[in-house]
Amino acid sequence: MKTEENKSLDRKIKLYEKLGAVKFQKVVFKVEELKFKLIKKLCPNFITYFDKYCDFKKRIALKHAKTKEDKKRIINNSKLSKMAMRKELNYEQNRNYHMEASKPTEIINYLYWNKRVHQKGLIKDAILIPILTAGTITGVPGALPLLVMELISAGINFECINIQNYNICRYKKVEKVLQRREQRSFERSVEKYGQAAEVIHNTIEKSESLPTFDEILDNITSVEQLKQMRELFQTKIAEREKVKKIGGK
């Protein structure tokens, strides 16, 4: 029997569907597919540039850090950003639209983050559209094309917020199930790859930037760690290929 909360979520989901969430999300996925193809074709060194951008932001943030905890948080966030971008490129999926099988609850933070980004964009559109409308009416040169661009931007921001509201509601309906699934997945991973995961974690913690694959291998001290590391990477490669295959259909 459905709870009142689930009934409320169902009503919201139907509203977001009527506002175009499902249809527009298909467009988003097509744009996503094109985006990664263009990045890999036109900018093969994208990761190098992205890492430099992250390092630039990190240096600025560290100048304003007041405590060791602040510095550690800034450095860790920089490494997390780099790892997240590498995952996006490897899987050819935006993190805020796709759920990872082993960590399904992770997506909720990205959904809220992406929603906030588009809410800020919509506020900007709401400020500029009346100004540009007045400029168009009074004959200000260039105001009309800028107004058209802002109207398109507002439509995109609205639909992206609508999609994320839709996905947040869908997530909330199955949140407890996902939490249990994630816990079971975590326990299996610890049992199967625990030693390898510890090597990776410790290597990343020691390094201010992201370590290379060779640096991770240099920290392996046992045959069991090496065996688990090989199995872990084989599993991740197979998972990535499966995701790409499904996405390409």
Whether the model pTM is above 0.75 = yes
Decide: helix, strand or coil at residue 141.
coil
Contacts of 136 (CB under 8 A, 6+ apart): 143, 144, 147
Contact 239, 101 (CB under 8 A): yes
Distances (CA, A) of 158 to 11, 114, 143, 186, 249: 19, 12, 22, 36, 28
Contact 213, 245 (CB under 8 A): no
Quickly count: other Cβ atoms within 10 Å of residue 215's Cβ.
13
List, for residues 107-160, the tens digit of each pLDDT value.
Answer: 999 999 999 999 999 999 999 999 999 999 998 999 999 999 999 999 999 999
The pLDDT assigned to 245 comes to 65
**Any idea which of 102-106, 135-139, 205-209 has the lowest mean pLDDT?**
205-209
Q: How far apart are CA 205 and CA 66, in angstroms?
A: 20
